[in-house]
Every structure is written in C-alpha cells, then in structure tokens.
Structure 1
Amino acid sequence: MSTTHDTDRLTLESGLTVRPWAEGDDLALLQVWGDPENAMHHQDRALLRPSSNDPWSRCIVAEDQGVPVAAATILRSSLHPDKLSFYAEVAPDHRRRGVAAELLAVLEVEAGNCSATGLKARCAKRSAAQCFLKDNGFSKIQTTRRIVVQAGALRLPDLEGTGLDLQEIATGSVELSGLVAEYYNAVHDWDRAEMTIGKAQQLLLDDTTGASGAVILRDVSEDGDGAIRAFAVSYTPERTEDPADVLIGWNPELGETEAEDHVRSLLALLAARYPVELEVDDSMAPLKVVTEELVADGDAEVDFEAIIYAR
C-alpha cells in the first residue's frame, strides 16, 4: 500500500483508491455487482454502511478511476464481543487481483481501535470467498444451513400421556424471552454470546423483528415442573404455500436425546399442513439430526449452506 493522498484516501498496490463508505455507494455498487444471489448474500451486503463508533464498525470502498468496484467492512456485534465480523465483495472483473486482501489489511489497522481480538466471516460453500478466507489465515469453525421442510414431512406426535402440552405463548412473555436467551447463549459457545432477556426481546421477539407468534411444548405432568421444553417463533404472519420462517429451540438443560424428541414433535406440528424454513447450525445438534434425516429422505431441502470461518 502506498502513501495517503489525504486523510480519507489510500491508494492500494492494485491501483485502486480506498475511501470511507459514503451515501449512494450501495446503489453504485449494485450496478457493478448485480443482484444478491440468495438471502444470505442480501444480509451480508446490508452490513455495508457508514462507519460508526456505537456500535463499532468501519466500512471502506475501493474505486477504479472514481467508480466504486469493491467494498469491505468489519463490525462488532452487541451479542458477540470477542470477534469482529468481516465482509468484502469485489466486482467480477476486479477479482483475483488481491483487492479483498488489501481491503482486509486496511481494516485490520482500524481494528486496533476495538477491544475485540478476532475476526470471523461467512461464505457460501465451494465459493471463491472460501478460498480467500483459507488463504488469509481463517479456519472453519461452523456450518450453517437454511433448511426448507416440506408439509407433512414428519409423522404427527400423539402428546396424550406424554406429560407435554402444546400451547401458544405471547412473544412478549418474560418466560419465553428468558429461555430464548439461554438457548441462544448455549448454541453459540463457538462464538461467545451475551444474549440477555432484554436483547432477546429486542432482537428476536419484538414486533419490529417480524415475530408474529410463538408456541411451546410445556411439561404439564403431575410430577413435572411446568417448564417449557421446546419453543418455536414464527416470523411469517400468514400461513401460505410459501415456507414460513421459524426459529426452533429447546431448553438447554435437556439432554440431546430428549431435546431431539421434543424438536421432532414440535417441527412435525409446525409443518403438518404448510412448509417451514429454518436456520440450522452445526452447534444445534438435536435440530441438525432431525433436519439431516429429512434431507436424506427427500422431505426437506437445503436452500443454502454457509461456512463460518474465524481467525
């Protein structure tokens, strides 16, 4: 990297000029990048926005003769304090020139101003980005998949005599919020999380998140504790032939076999008449077992698969 032209611009060895993200860059880059390939790609592009100190983030754009052709960002999550998220995208005709690596190097200098000690990034399986991350010292730590489960894929459970009851519960319930927070922290031991009841309500259960309803499997047996064993939150207000977006979780105090049984029952009830779509990480072992069986039997399909790398 050469010397700076001014306080806001750098010239890279590739010849591109780097500057902070500015208003209108999203539309300009869309012209050279094209539309996002899937929902994950759309979410990652949404990370590109003006730099901030609260929450901490830095975002830069690379120009070729004044035309934006690449962008990259690092940012700190309010939930995951130990690792900064990294995302970069380069226009097709500027790839394989080391541009993304140069942008990463610029951002790493900025990262010295943040207390987080690591970097993480996700990419599509068998993509060029996967090779880039490996070449730049990142190691795989997790796989996440978006799974679509077909209607009627699972046999409906008979809850009579099981000591379990299917109940609706308000998304604003403190009981539900507390369990969602515990579950989130438990399945993110690979990237330490600081989910609280308040954050669970704000980020996963509030009306503004799209949460439109929730159901639970509750222990109602005579000698039971009345606790929630598993839960599902829907982010789709009306059921149609299109898959409903749901979050499924369980009480992290359960053993894996019991959790798997409850998840299987709850998923069967949710997908009895309409398909559902859910995100499954490797760390969600009970849910992963159930969905992998469905995929193997042709009763579910993988919408997309991403690999999470860290350094």
Structure 2
Amino acid sequence: MKDFTVRPWQDGDDLALLEIWHDADNSTNEAFRASITADSDAQPWSRTLVVEHLGIPVAAGTIYETSLHHRHLWSYLEVAAEHRRQGVGTLLLNKLRELAKSSPSGVHTLRTKVEPGSAGEAFAQAHGLENLQRSRLVRIEAGAIPLVPLHEDEDGRAHQAIEDLATGSIELTQKLWDFYVRSHAWDPPAETPLPRVNRLFLSDEAEAFGAIVLRDDIIAAKKQGKKGDIKAFAVSYRPLQADVPGAEIAEGSATEILLGYDYDFAGVREAIIQVLSLLAYQYPVTVEVDDSMEDLAVLIDHFVKSGAASVVTETMVVAETSLKAL
C-alpha cells in the first residue's frame, strides 16, 4: 500500500498512537490497548507491529500467548479513525497472522473480544473470525432481588448455611476451578495446579477481597464430621479506584463479584438466587455472566427483563478456526 509501512514496535509508539487515536471506541478496546507493547520472548510470548503513514504511526496490532487459555493467541489491532476502510487493518492482520506462525507453542489461530455492533465486530466477521461466546457484565441493584430463606426441616433445623470463607481455602479453590472448567467447555483451559488457580482468582494479587459460600445438607454432613458441600459461592473484588492514592469511590458504585455454582446440583437456580439476593441486599453488585453459564444466564435474563438488573457491557469472543488459519 502506497505511503503505508509496517514495522516492529519502538519506544514512544504508545504516546504517538494515543495522540492520533484519542479516546477508545468502547471499553473493550480501552482494555486491549494495554496489551499493545514491546515484543517479548518470555512468558507470555508476544509480538507487536505498527503501521506508519508518511512516517507517522497510525495503527498497531498485537498477538500474545496465555497459559490459561492456550488454544488460540489473543490478538488486537486498532487503526486511527481517519485511516479506516483503506485496507490498513487487513494489511496489519495479515502481517500478524504471519508472525503467529512463529509462536513458541505452535498455536497460530487468533481470537479477540469485540462489542456487538462495533467496527471491530464487522472487521472480525469480514476476516473469518467466528463467534465463540457472549459475555455480559450485569449490575444488580440493591434490594432488587427479594431474600430467599435457607432451607429448614420441620423442627426448624437449618439444612443450609451461608459461610464466610477465607480466599486461601483449598476447598473454595477447588470449587472455583471445577466451575471455571465447566463454564469454559467452549474454550477448555489448560490443566492448572490449585496454587496457581488460587493466585489467579483468589489472591491479593487478583484483588480478591472476600468470599461467601452456600453449603447444603449440613445436618447429614455434620453427622459425618463435615460441613456440607458448597453448592454456590461468590468472591468479591476490590474496585480499581481503591488502589489509586487519593481516589474516591463514587457513591452507588457496585461491588464486582465472581459467582459460581455446582453445575450438577438439582437446586442450583435457587442456590444462585439465595447468594445473589444476600449480596445485593444493601449494595449493588456487578457479575460477569457467559452464556455457557446456562443456569445463571437464565436468571440474569429474568432479572434484566424485570428491571432488577441491567447490562453494563456486552462482549463477544470471536476466533479463527484451525481450518481457516491453515
């Protein structure tokens, strides 16, 4: 293409690109911008390219490996608004696809996230990336879900219990990982030891703040010296603003939670509501739900329809199939 050249990333490209890109089109693009950085041969392996127009950076794209989801390379590219629809994005994507063939893992298919109706979605579809999974970040308002009482027998003895559990708990870590694997059957994660699972999702590094669990059949379990199996759980996370010196958390801000459950539990939907209604009793919460989390997704659809919840963001994971990338 005349007047356009492609080269590797250089120091200072980030500032130059931000000057011409201005604000991101959406929150997904804003989050991905942080991944556009210098090449790395260490874990995670990554490569970044920049497109110049008459010597000025106007576009950039990156590909990188991840150890948790290793079947595709994550990818992202962005072109300055005034240079779109000129073939720049296609030029950049083709160059990234060539670089992907040299990934240490041997994985060369690409995936990314796009927002429905965005230019990114149209570009991805036009270049052969297919939908894998829809994900929504949903806000549930304080008190919007009526509290659901715990089960008792005819003598008033509790069959269920809500318990605060330390985020370092091996039991909780195992339950979270079981849920994660089941909810990501569409993109199976790599085998991961529990200490790493804990570090990724439940540690101070992950900004995990606290956790509650719903235990079921606790009377029978107590007779065996046990507590009862965890059927649903929620992990809360510190807001990003809490780590910024002097920053104030806006009134009405929602607590981010990861909500999981036992896929095989017959009363799973009631268990989900029991946990959600308790968490959102006094303060709003946000929860990320994939369509693969069928029981949670069905309930969220109902809450959104009734006005108890609202969709904050919606994204689609799209990817190349192996056949298309060969």
Offset, 1:251: 2.3
**Which whole-Å deviations, capped at 9, do the CAs of 1:19-40 have from their partners, x for residues lacking one?**
2223332222211112235543
Within the candidate set 198, 207, 210, 1:210 is matched to: 207
Within the candidate set 35, 47, 66, 1:58 is matched to: 47
Within the candidate set 31, 36, 46, 2:24 is matched to: 36
Q: Matches of residues 85-234 of structure 1 in structure 2 within 5 Å? A: 85-114=74-103, 115-161=106-152, 163-194=159-190, 195-224=192-221, 226-234=228-236
Give me the whole-angstrom Cα distance separating, in 2, the residues matched to 1:300 and 1:231: 19
Residue 318 of structure 2 is matched in structure 1 by 309
Give me the whole-angstrom Cα distance separating, in 2, the residues matched to 1:211 and 1:135: 39
Give me the whole-angstrom Cα distance separating, in 1, the residues matched to 2:274 and 2:15: 45
Amino acid at match of 1:35: D
Give me the whole-angstrom Cα distance separating, in 2, the residues matched to 1:272 and 1:40: 30
Q: Check 1:59–1:254 CA distance in 2 against 1; reply closer, same or farther (3 A cut).
A: farther
Task: Select between 30-39 and 276-285 the one with higher mean Cα deviation.
Answer: 30-39
Q: Is residue 251 from structure 1 mapped to residue 240 from structure 2 by the alignment?
A: no
**Which whole-Å deviations, capped at 9, do the CAs of 1:108-132 have from their partners, x for residues lacking one?**
1111122114221111111111111
Give me the whole-angstrom Cα distance separating, in 2, the residues matched to 1:19 and 1:300: 46
Residue 3 of structure 1 is matched in structure 2 by none
Matched residue of 1:42: which SS?
helix
Offset, 1:140: 1.1
Aligned 8 A contact 1:14 1:97 in 2:
no
Give me the whole-angstrom Cα distance separating, in 2, the residues matched to 1:87 and 1:165: 45
Offset, 1:160: 4.2
Matched residue of 2:58: which SS?
strand
What fraction of aligned residue pairs are identical, expressed as a percent? Answer: 37
TM-score using structure 2 length: 0.86
Gaps of 5+ in 2: 153-157, 243-248, 321-326
Give me the whole-angstrom Cα distance separating, in 1, the residues matched to 2:147 and 2:137: 23
Offset, 1:220: 4.5
Gaps of 5+ in 1: 1-12
Give me the whole-angstrom Cα distance separating, in 2, the residues matched to 1:200 and 1:302: 28
Matched residue of 1:165: which SS?
strand
Matched residue of 2:184: which SS?
coil
* Aligned residues: CA RMSD: 1.9
Offset, 1:172: 1.2
